[in-house]
Structure 1
Amino acid sequence: MLNLSVAGVLEKSQLSSDGVWLLLVEVAIPDSDESLRLVHNNEDITWNGYTWTAFNFKLGDVKEDNKGKPQSVPLQISNVTQTVQAYVEEYSGMTGTTVTLRVVHSQHLDNTTPELEEVFTVESTICDNKWATFSLTACDGTLQSCRDRSNESRYGGEPSIPEGGLYA
């Protein structure tokens, strides 16, 4: 079950509100302390001490394999200005980069804890003149990754085998 803050539960339960739920995307830039911080909104916002730039992006549906196992989530970020493509070209497609998705409410931007937060890894990238499409994977194949998502029952490996391999 999704755990929302008290403010989040109240906003969710209202019949009408002046505020909106905002989707934030934070793309870690390799070898840098800075991140690309975007908000799916028509104006920039300030949340958690950072300015989040209004930008057009779309989050697709979770893709599953033939056994129902989640594989990836497509994230399309507008590439009309070629801003994102510059990062993609400079950092080898940004493969392996961390992408964090967060949901916050516009009336409660003073709350530094997001209502929802998911961390993904960029698996692959495709760019054209309109979109930079990142294939995001949530699972790195470890038991700890499943535990972080309270989903141990779907772990497909053997928990007693140590991670990282054994070298002789």
Structure 2
Amino acid sequence: MLTWETAAIMEKNKLSSDKPFLLLLQVEHKSLPEVVRLARNTEDVTWNGHTWTRFPIKFESVTADGKTMPTCKISVSSCGGLLMTYVKKYEGLTDAVVTIYTVHAAMLDHTQPLLTLEFVNRGTSYDENWITFELGCAPDVYNRFPPDKYMMNYCPFVFKSIQCGYSGTAACCNNTLKECRIPSRFGGEQGMTGTYV
């Protein structure tokens, strides 16, 4: 659950205010000579000891299809050409760590952001107006840990492989203990429940 301090909640609940919530974008890549810091704002922002350059930034909605890891897209204006130079020179800034900070203009003296989201750039596309980063989760989220699953009634061996050991005439196997042709070579973890063949 997101917990904000009282001052931020009071600012959020005001009917009108001339101090907005700001979105700050930080791009870090091993090849960049310096960290890129941008602010979606009409003027530069000084926060946490750094200057965040005003820049047109568009945030698109998160894409989730239930089969792959969710992604979202951020488009940054290609005006000025500096970011475009980095994109072309450093392979589209692929694998760059992109961090989004939410801060409030009335609370820029606070070093802790109201919200921090960290992504990894999975791909970059661009045209004459916008550079679009496709952001996803960090690589460690994509890798299963531990690498193997232990299942009681499922055999991980490929049918008729050396580990399976079956060389008969049957055409297929559904990898369950019930269908196993050589129960003594079953690769499932029967010891999980204390039932042994």
**TM-score relative to the length of structure 2:** 0.69
Q: Which residue of 1 aligns with 2:16?
A: 16
**Residue 113 of structure 2 corresponds to which residue in structure 1?**
114
Q: Matched residues in 1 for 2:102 and 2:30: separation?
A: 24
Aligned residues: 148
Partner of 1:47: 47
Give the AA of the match of 1:42: T
| Runs of 5+ unmatched residues, structure 1 | 144-155, 163-168
Task: Give the alignment of 1:16-35 within 5 angstroms.
Answer: 16-32=16-32, 34-35=34-35
Q: Does 1:79 align with 2:78?
A: yes
Contact 1:60 1:74 in 2 (8 A): yes
5+ residue gaps, structure 2, are: 149-197
For residue 138 of structure 1, what is the aligned residue in structure 2?
A: 137
Q: Which residue of 1 aligns with 2:123?
A: 124
Identify which range, 9-18 or 102-111, moves more after superposition.
9-18
Letter of the aligned partner of 1:91 in structure 2? Y
Aligned to 1:60: 60
Instruction: Find the aligned partners of 1:59 and 1:38 in 2 and give their Cα distance.
Output: 13
Preserved CA contact (<8 Å) 1:29 1:36: no
Pair member with larger Rg = 2
Cα distance, 1:33 vs structure 2:
6.4
Q: Report the Cα distance in structure 1 between the residues aligned to 2:58 and 2:32, rounded to whole angstroms.
A: 25
Quick check: 1:30–1:91 contact (8 Å CA) kept in 2?
no
1:17 positional shift: 2.0
SS in 1 for 2:18: coil
Q: Match of 2:98?
A: 99
Greater relative CO, 1 or 2 (CA 8 Å, sep 6+): 1
RMSD: 2.1
Partner of 2:139, secondary structure, is coil
Shift of 1:31: 3.4
Q: 4+ runs of 1 displaced by more than 4 Å?
A: none
Q: Please state how far the C-alpha of 1:160 moved relative to its aligned partner.
A: 4.2
Against the structure 1 CA distance between its residues 70 and 9, is the aligned structure 2 distance closer, same or farther, given a 3 Å change threshold? farther
Q: Compared with structure 1, are the counterparts of its residues 5 and 34 closer, same or farther at alpha carbon in structure 2 (3 Å cutoff)? A: farther
CA distance in 2, matches of 1:124, 1:74: 10
Q: What is the CA distance between 1:161 and its match in structure 2?
A: 3.7
Shift of 1:71: 2.2
73-82 or 112-121: bigger deviation: 73-82
Percent identity between the two aligned chains = 35
Which deviations, in whole Å up to 9, do the C-alpha atoms of 1:32-79 show, x marking residues without a partner? 5621100011100100000010000111100112x2755211010001
Give the Cα separation in 2 of the matches to 1:78 and 1:44.
15
